[in-house]
Amino acid sequence: MDVYENVVIGGFIYALGYSAGKRAFSLPANINLLQQTPMDKSLADVLIGMPDVYYLLEFKRRANKGDKEAQKLAFLQRYLSQDDPRFLEVSRGTHLYIESELSGEDLETRCSSYLDFQSQLKPVRLERIVEFLLEGTLIRERGISGDECCHYLGLVQQAYKAVDGVEGVSGNSGGFIIVGGTMSGTLKFVTLPDIRQFTMTRERLEKLQHEQTLQRENAMSRTRSRSRGIERGRGQSRGF
């Protein structure tokens, strides 16, 4: 029996949400499953965004590791080496490769930075990867800023454009969703057209959310006003 990437991803996303809930993690955040979307080939399977940080996660079955992933890696290494060498460090702190295989009844996972998956994959349990991301260990160790995370996403997309004519760039992906929470446990959703907006601070995200709420309320108010105007017009017509 084999376990497909989307099954592992589903378990990972559930575990990430569960662990974030246990930590009362209330910052606006998002987990975007990009697999089989236009952004899959130009970024990765999963994009995790929180204020001032992004993570890109690529999931693969051990049995499904082929030449295509090695080709993508070569393009990315070459592209990053031509840019600021700092982004090699940013990549190693934010872009992960997770490989899985079923061994008996146990799911075995190995993980490394994406740049090093050909030589440095190590056994790591999926739940430990979840904790590692929530703790922000790699980000803190390397002093990675939100602006650097944002710029790195653009570099990845530019690098992958040369791989089989990859498409899917910031702004034309179909939109993204940020999920925020309150102390009472209420969830709030904000849609964004551009992944680069994830690097907003909490204050800016909350301001954006407030502005979008006002826009929706104003639109509903205008709709109600038009409806009342139509009804009044009908009433006057009946009076003649």
In the chain, what is the greatest distance between 2 CA atoms, to the nearest angstrom? 86
- Residue 160 confidence (pLDDT) above 90: no
Q: pLDDT tens, 128-144?
A: 999 888 888 888 888 99
- Cα–Cα dist 83/117, whole Å: 21
- Model confidence at 30: pLDDT above 80: no
pLDDT value at 115 more than 90: yes
Q: Where are the beta strands (DSSP E) in 73-206?
A: 95-103, 106-113, 122-123, 176-181, 187-192
What band does 81 get if pLDDT is binned at 50, 70 and 90? confident
**Residue 91 pLDDT level (bands cut at 50, 70, 90):** very high
For residue 135, the surrounding DSSP H or E stretch is: helix 126-135
* The pLDDT of residue 149: 87
pLDDT at 172 over 50: no
Contact 190, 178 (CB under 8 A): yes
pLDDT band for 31, please (50, 70, 90 cuts).
confident
More confident residue, 95 or 177: 95
Task: Check residue 29 and report its DSSP letter.
Answer: B
At 2-29, the pLDDT tens digits run: 677 888 888 888 888 888 878 776 565 6
d(CA 35, CA 160): 15
Q: What mean pLDDT is reported for the chain?
A: 77
Per-residue confidence (pLDDT) for residue 169, from 0 to 100: 47
Exposure b/e, 183-222, CB count within 10 A at least 16 = b: eeeeeeebebeebbbbbbeeeebeebbeeeeeeeeeeeee
For residue 98, the model assigns a pLDDT of 94
Adjacent-strand bridge partners of 111? 98, 122
Residue 170 has pLDDT above 50, yes or no: no
- What's the pLDDT band for 239 if we cut at 50, 70, 90? very low
pLDDT for 174 beyond 60: no
pLDDT at 37 over 60: yes
Are 26 and 181 within 8 A, CB to CB?
yes
The pLDDT tens digits for 207-238 are: 666 776 777 788 788 877 777 766 666 666 55
Determine contact, residues 112/173, Cβ cutoff 8 Å: no
Amino acid at 22: K
Q: Could you give the C-alpha distances from 95 to 112, 171, 172, 206, 231, in angstroms and in order?
A: 9, 21, 22, 27, 57
**DSSP summary character for residue 43:** T
